[in-house]
A and B are shown apart, each in its own frame.
Chain A
Amino acid sequence: MASSDETPAPMPRSGGGSTEATPGRAMGIGQKMMDKSAQMLQSLKPVRQTQQHVCTFSLYSHDFTRQIETHYYVTRLNQDFLQCPVFDSDSPNARLIGVEYIVSERIFEALPPEEQMLWHSHAFEIKSGLWTNPRVPGMIQKVELENLVKSYGKFWCTWQVDRGDPLPLGAPCLMMSPRSENFGMMKPELIKIRDAKYGFSREEIKESRAGIVEPDKTNPQADYWIRAGGGFALDVEAVDMKVRAAFP
């Protein structure tokens, strides 16, 4: 089994209702009440550190024809490192589709080359207005974007919802960021849909970012597909497990 499998093995769709909905019974009152009471007792600190919502786009590194709108809920751990759960929408029933990590240029430069290959740049995405912060005025966005325009990201996608998977199937996929050249170009219709949803004006966004200084060039080890003409897939291999007791 590989993350690059075109179609996962068949499974029944959720009976009735939208094909978008995750299969399974709706929440009963009992469960809801249990959740509420537990929620009041637990502090949930790690997930109360979200500082911004980013809406942007990503592409599958093994198939650039597959492009998705992505929603990052960003937590900054220090000046050079951010961690982001990634969802397929900003609504309460959004599906958790992966994790992106973001590092500063400084940190990225110090990574070994074989690690750098797994990362993508953000400069084009930000300058071109693909990367957005819904509902945040341009002025406030600008400060953060000046930081992030030189950053690099690593995004593993664990649920291929665009393929119609009703549940997360297979191995994670390495994702890439949009670029201006060949494989990395975004389908205009996807951008239009997103911009219409949030009332974005392409022209206004690009203008507001004109003053943001992008790096002279992004590190050529990132966006590996540009040099290599190819991406990556993950294969699931059965191996002998190192054990300390019988399994399972």
Chain B
Amino acid sequence: MATTGTPEAAKIPGEPTKTGTSLVETATGAIQGFAPINKIHQHLCGYHFYMHDMTRQVEAHHYCAHQNEEMRQCLIYDSQDADARLIGIEYIVSENLFMTLPDSEKPLWHSHEYEVKSGLLFMPGVPGPVQRQDLEKVAKTYGKTFHFWQIDKGDGLPLGVPQIMGAFTRDGQLYPEIAHGLEEKYGVSMEKEREKREYITGPEHGIHPLANGKGKGLKLELREVDCKQPVESVARVFV
């Protein structure tokens, strides 16, 4: 049975924001600059699955900023609304940068070629020809995604440990009802986009065999460790 998209599900526990609190925050917001956040300029909608369980598939709204031409850093939310939950992070690198990663690191990164060519990944609100100019580049990139909040399980809070996420790599993996749901919700046609994106090519050197978990699942396991402590054993007086 498909675990689809974003459940209406578990509300975040807590009282609605009190007036006093929000007034303070408005004042604060007006005074401070939010430069790193203001750099976020792009919204991409796509789907991820858990790298240990492809049957759990989650709608992922990426809000991306360019560090430079070859590297993007993205905040992942569960919707495009003002009350969206911040559920994860994705880093996106060019093929060139991916090749500089140690071999032990490469499996944590997934390819984007299928997501782009299939029409699954799209930029809401942006006309096709404009989207495709950027998606041509995205198709050649690799991404590394962690989710911290398993909303598909109905968690009302970000519980547990981070999850490595994967991206779709071929037909048959994404639940058809999810594809239909996306098309209805955002008024897009994946089929039509697929045709228009046929000319788009993936990484120059093909998808690297070490990417996408080397074809295996991946999971993060928590382990306790002894603290490494500061060298000085004399207690410092904190002034």
Q: A77 contacts B12, CB within 8 Å?
A: yes
CB-defined contacts of A78 to chain B, threshold 8 Å? 12, 14-17
B70 to chain A minimum Cβ distance, whole angstroms, is 3
A202 x B239 contact (CB < 8 A)? yes
Q: Does B223 contact A79, Cβ atoms closer than 8 Å?
A: no
Residues 145-177 of A, flagged 1 when their CB comes within 8 A of B and 0 if not, give 001000000101011000000011111100000
Q: A35-B41, A51-B29, A99-B86 are in contact. Are A111 and B157 (CB under 8 A)?
A: yes
Q: Which of A11, A96, A107, A238 has the most CB of B within 10 A?
A: A96
- Residue A239, interface by CB 8 Å: yes
| Chain A positions within 8 Å of B61 at CB level | 46
Residues of chain B contacted by A93 (CB below 8 angstroms): 67
What chain B residues lie within 8 Å of A11 (beta carbons)?
A: 100-102, 105
A36-B108 in contact (CB<8A) = no
A196 within 8 A of B: no
Q: Report, as a range, how many residues of chain A touch the other chain.
A: 35 or more
Can you report 16 residue pairs joining A to B where beta carbons are below 8 Å apart?
Answer: A25-B70, A50-B37, A52-B29, A53-B32, A83-B86, A85-B37, A128-B238, A172-B220, A188-B236, A230-B226, A232-B224, A236-B164, A244-B55, A245-B54, A247-B166, A247-B215
Stretch of B87-95, B186-194, B197-205 on the interface side: B87-95
B-side interface size class:
35 or more
Contact A73 B36, CB 8 Å, known A81-B12, A245-B170: yes
Q: A81-B157, A239-B217 are in contact. Are A47 and B75 (CB under 8 A)?
A: yes
Residues of A within 8 A of B224 (CB): 228, 230-232
Tell me, rounded to whole Å, the shortest Cβ–Cβ distance linking A36 to chain B.
7
Q: In the assembly, what is the distance between CA of A8 and CA of B100, in Å?
A: 13
Q: State whether A185 touches B238 (Cβ < 8 A).
A: yes
- Bound together, the chains give a CA A8 to CA B157 distance in angstroms of 31
Whether a CB of chain B sits under 8 angstroms from the CB of A212 is no
In the assembled complex, which residues on chain B have CB atoms less than 8 Å from the CB atom of A48? 82
Q: Which residue of B lies closest to A48 (CB)?
A: B82
Interchain CA distance A63-B107 in the complex, whole Å: 25
Q: Which residue of B lies closest to A243 (CB)?
A: B54
Which of chain A's residues have a CB closer than 8 A to the CB of B102? 8-11, 169
Given A42-B126, A79-B14, A128-B238, A133–B229 Cβ distance below 8 Å?
no
Would you give the shortest CB distance from B234 to chain A, in whole angstroms?
11
Distance in angstroms from B223 CB to nearest chain A CB is 5
Asked whether, in the complex, the Cβ of B82 is within 8 Å of the Cβ of A46, the reply is yes
